[in-house]
Amino acid sequence: MTKLLIGMVRTENEAILMLNQLRQAGVDSDSLGVVAKEQLNLELISEKAGLPKPLKGAGTDGALGAFKGVLAALGKRKDHTMSAGKAVRRLAGNEIGEETDDFVLTLTEAGISEEDANYYEHWLMQQHLLVIVETSEDEIAQITPIIMKRD
């Protein structure tokens, strides 16, 4: 059975280091991903960690996307997630913040407890990032020390 392990990092550099450590430990790139608020730039992480180009979700590109970004900054529109990596495609474009459970529901459908999902959403709202690994039960012991690393 597939499990999701989620690591919390504060910066793009921490995300790159964690993703590269996971790859060095033998985790396939297709099983890795990173999620952040759409205002953050995941391009560097994708490039440095060998992940596909970031996804922002429907309707967040082009002129309309820029307008939505301005509305979000003014507090007139909900924040959304963006993601990089095949393991987290479904998390691109999820609404986050008060008065929405879009992101939380997506995580709970993937087997994350509602309490943990709410905590992860709060982490993203603080301009931090989540590194996510899709793994089997057999690999959890090897991956956990990397993904749960705290400074």
Query: What string of DSSP letters covers 74-118?
Result: TTSS-EEEEEESGGGGGGTT-EESTT--HHHHHHHHTT--HHHHH
Is pTM, for the whole model, over 0.75?
yes
The values of phi and psi at residue 71, to 5°, are -60, -40
| pLDDT value at residue 67 | 43
pLDDT (mean) for 77-82: 80
45-49, 131-135, 146-150: least confidently modelled range: 146-150
Rounded to an integer, the average pLDDT of 79-88 is 91
pLDDT value, residue 78: 73
Bridge partners for 3 per DSSP: 135
**8 A C-beta contact, residue 124 and residue 81:** yes
Q: Mean pLDDT score of the chain, rounded to an integer?
A: 85
Residues 6+ apart with CB under 8 A from 76: none
